Amino acid sequence: MAAVVNLVGAGKVGRVLGRLLAASGMVVQDVLTRSLASAQDAVDFIGAGRAVGSMDQLRPADIWLLAVSDDQIAPVCAQLAASYSLEGSVVFHCSGAKASDELRAAAGALVASVHPVRSFADPAHVAAHFKETFCGVEGDVRALAVLMPAMQAIGARVVPIDAAAKTVYHAASVFASNYLVTVMDAALRAYEAAGIPPDVARALAAPLATETLANVLAMGPQAALTGPVARGDMATVARQQAALTAWEGESGALYGALADATVRLAQRRDAQKS
């Protein structure tokens, strides 16, 4: 028989997983969110399930997906455990920052976390193009024995991670996504400070950024590194930092921190060569 799934929280991530799990043959049973209206909206997106307005309306299930905000995982799990016997059921959350031990209140349950590594800004697009999405997973062996095949069935590329390093794992995604935006913002504003219009600045930066990222992903950071630090031209680095600091202190400080990190990257590269 198909596994029965309840969703507690069905924002962008929850509703995408709900739709995909339902399409894979699982039974999406009940959906609970902050309001009955939003639960019904999620059910409409998923194409399955029953919207409920309170926790006491949820029916027993084989799998409980807690797609709530990070700070709500533990309290919602505690509420769930106080209301239901979770013995033998699978309870998992989708946080990239919190480990499965946030679900320790679910006594007797098999707990895990499954973190899809991608942006969910457009849920319909993600649901239609979920194949090959990496998902970091950790938790009870028996929970993963259920969840890993389920995620693979919806097209995910499952990557086991160390629960003890979950925060560092999530920080890696922040570096690769959020902080990349911050660095590009600094670059574009510096171009504009040199008199280049914003649209031209973006066009000018595009080949540098895209080709560099492609090189990092193809060859690794050490081989992809170019520029003044890679050449050992620290006089140029010092002039640039001084000019940026005079223009805008925050950008100068960011440049300095990145220069220090880049020097260490170049040193690792040189040590590997020797």
**With contact defined as beta carbons under 8 Å apart, do 62 and 89 qualify?**
yes
Tokens of 80: 């769930």
Residue 262: the pLDDT is: 97
d(CA 22, CA 25): 5
Residue 115: the pLDDT is: 96
Tokens of 156: 């995910």
Establish if 170 belongs to a structural domain. Answer: no
Total domains present in the chain: 2
Interacting residues of 262 by C-beta distance below 8 A, sequence separation 6+: 225, 227, 229, 230
Tokens of 108: 């007797």
* 96 and 183 assigned to the same domain: no
Q: DSSP letter at 100?
A: G
d(CA 141, CA 81): 21
* 133 and 192 assigned to the same domain: no
* 103 and 151 assigned to the same domain: yes
Q: What is the pLDDT of residues 192-208, one digit of tens each?
A: 999 999 999 999 999 99
Establish if 8 belongs to a structural domain. Answer: yes
Whose structure tokens read 């031990």? 101
- Checking if the pLDDT of 88 tops 90, the result is yes
Of 130, 164, 198, the last residue of a domain is: 164
Q: Where are the beta strands (DSSP E) in 140-200?
A: 157-160
**With contact defined as beta carbons under 8 Å apart, do 140 and 163 qualify?**
no
* 25 and 151 assigned to the same domain: yes
* 205 and 123 assigned to the same domain: no
Establish if 150 belongs to a structural domain. Answer: yes
Percentage of the chain beyond pLDDT 70 is: 100
Establish if 55 belongs to a structural domain. Answer: yes
Average pLDDT over residues 9-35: 97
Q: What is the pLDDT of residues 118-129, one digit of tens each?
A: 889 999 999 999
d(CA 177, CA 161): 19
* 8 and 139 assigned to the same domain: yes
Q: What is the pLDDT of residues 24-57, one digit of tens each?
A: 999 999 999 999 999 999 999 999 999 999 999 9
Establish if 172 belongs to a structural domain. Answer: no
d(CA 76, CA 103): 9
Average pLDDT over residues 134-151: 98
CATH number (domain holding residue 76): 3.40.50.720
Establish if 223 belongs to a structural domain. Answer: yes
Helix-then-strand count for the chain, H and E: 12, 8
- Where in the sequence is the domain holding 64, given as residue range(s)? 4-164
Residue 31: the pLDDT is: 98
* 37 and 157 assigned to the same domain: yes
Amino acid letter, 161: I
Question: What are the helix (H) ranges across 92-177?
Answer: 123-128, 141-153, 166-176
Residue 87: the pLDDT is: 96
Sheet holding 157-160, edge to edge: 50-52, 27-32, 4-8, 63-66, 90-93, 110-116, 134-139, 157-160
**With contact defined as beta carbons under 8 Å apart, do 30 and 7 qualify?**
yes
Residue 5's CB is within 10 A of a number of other CB atoms, namely 24
